[in-house]
Chain A
């Protein structure tokens, strides 16, 4: 390690352009991964909702993907897709699936039977029950899944620096190569800050979408 303070503020001040560029990159990598992962998960959950038998195979596959170490997965993909955004996203998306599918299904399954029966008895079609009753009531758990998936992905994105992507991971990797703590600390702190920021934003979104869940409950 080089001598001097852990964080060289002068260096940070001189690299604000880099910080901004990596922030955008990190956010895009995360957004793409969670966005695509969410779209795939919703589609798979709709399938499971209609054909319950699909639940086992789908979660099993997502579970297997989830257990593959990220470094190994990226290494395995590089021969096929190169040091590309695609490689990074295949990996990142894979890791969101299990969390998202589990949470969406838990949310849908948690809707009280009585509520669904009342809806059916009043003349709701199955489609309306899904979109007007089950999905809104599942929102808190769906958003909880998005939060975990997002925070996880923000952390994982740093690893993709090894295949030339990486956002803040770039600083960490550079810092490790040059024994320069400023960059390591910078990359880590920014990554944590980004995760926290997105998390807070999602909490706010959930509150706006589910005004009923914060009301006083009569015992």
Chain B
């Protein structure tokens, strides 16, 4: 979709290249994340795609067409652009902001208005915000408007320059999730710049790790990057907790679960005590097939296990969670066994042993 061919950028007055003979193929419908330390030319590379910065040499093809074949402002209207500081127009309402590119392209008002309303919902904002001004919105809401504005004319390509860098970590995580949901529906070709390796791994279908001077060190899907870093620079940048990061790319689904200390209602107290001793815990879970009732403390079992006496589990895992989240729940809880649920359906127990076995595979 986007083909960066032997592109070099030397800024005027600088003796070294910001980007040095970079070649990169960005496949259609994928999120490619450019990540690296400051000075690695990731933002410069991004901005050369929509010609906010002009390359010194080399060429960039978008959908097979040379980016320099059209006037920059015409090219840019076909490419969505989201920046860290959002850059909403303070003097225009949210609806007017989102309708910016359709208006530039000469859409009629009815079509623009319909598109704006559709997008406000797409990015998870309320229709009531349409007539507000940007200063009336929170940072997270503003960046949602920024994304909606970039999507307005339905461009096939979206360039995102550290779009979630200025919001707090909780909002950032939510916006990342929303972007992935959005991408699952829209299948845009997205080039995403960040300095945050966690964000790169979470969002990227592929990650391009750049070194100072715009040198491409490795270009691979995140899992591969973590499993087989190409060199020491990549390994260092990924950090010493590479294994843990890999866990964040592995879902619980597919991991064989253990039975754990689980009994059916009506089991004798004696049998329940034996199972607890064998499992090394002081509690017992009560389940009937796929239905998890809850748990009982060792001294609450009595002569027979009764459903009425059970307490609900406070820590459990959804099968859609990643192994990293699972590990976090297990190590921060008091129990080595954590129940896994698929919606309301009980699937089994997960343990640290199971996770580490999965890692070694």
Contacts and interface: CB of A to CB of B under 8 A. Distances in A.
Interface of A: 112-125, 133, 136-137, 210-212, 215-218
Majority secondary structure of chain A interface residues (helix, strand, loop or mixed): helix
B89 A119 contact: yes
Given A215-B132, A215-B133, A123 B91 contact: no
Nearest to B52: A121
Interface stretch (B54-62, B134-142, B200-208, B294-302): B134-142
B89 A133 contact: yes
B220 interface: no
A79 B137 CA distance: 61
B73 A119 contact: no
Interface of B: 50, 52, 73-77, 81, 83-92, 100-101, 104, 132-133, 135-138, 146, 149-150, 159
Most-contacted residue by chain B among A123, A125, A211, A217 (CB, 10 A): A123
A218 B87 contact: no
Nearest to B159: A121
Given A122-B149, A123-B74, A125-B73, A115 B135 contact: no
A119 B132 CA distance: 20
Given A114-B87, A115-B90, A120-B76, 20 more contacts: A112-B85, A113-B85, A114-B84, A114-B86, A117-B87, A118-B89, A119-B89, A121-B50, A121-B52, A123-B76, A123-B101, A124-B73, A125-B73, A212-B135, A215-B132, A215-B136, A216-B135, A217-B136, A218-B135, A218-B137
Top 8 nearest A-B pairs (CB, nearest first) are A118-B87, A114-B85, A123-B77, A121-B81, A114-B87, A123-B76, A212-B133, A123-B73
A115 B89 contact: yes
B52 A117 contact: yes
A90 B150 CA distance: 50
A212 B87 contact: no
Contacts of A136: 91
Contacts of B90: 115, 137, 212
A133 B86 CA distance: 15
Given A114-B85, A121-B52, A218 B77 contact: no
B135 A122 contact: no
A114 B52 CA distance: 13
B136 A121 contact: no
B136 A119 contact: no
A212 B50 CA distance: 30
A117 B74 contact: no
A137 B87 CA distance: 13
Contacts of B136: 215-218
A118 B86 contact: yes
Contact of A117 (B83, B104, B133): B83
Contacts of A122: 76-77, 81, 100-101, 104, 149-150
A217 B149 CA distance: 21
Given A120-B76, A121-B76, A137-B91, A218 B52 contact: no
Given A124-B104, A215-B132, A118 B88 contact: yes
A114 B76 contact: no
B60 to A, nearest CB: 15
Nearest to B149: A122
A218 B86 contact: no
A157 to B, nearest CB: 34
A119 B146 CA distance: 12
A199 to B, nearest CB: 23
Contacts of B84: 114
A26 B160 CA distance: 57
A211 B83 CA distance: 26
A27 to B, nearest CB: 31
A121 B149 CA distance: 12
A120 B83 CA distance: 12
B76 A217 contact: no
A123 B137 contact: no
Contacts of A115: 87-90
Contacts of A120: 52, 76
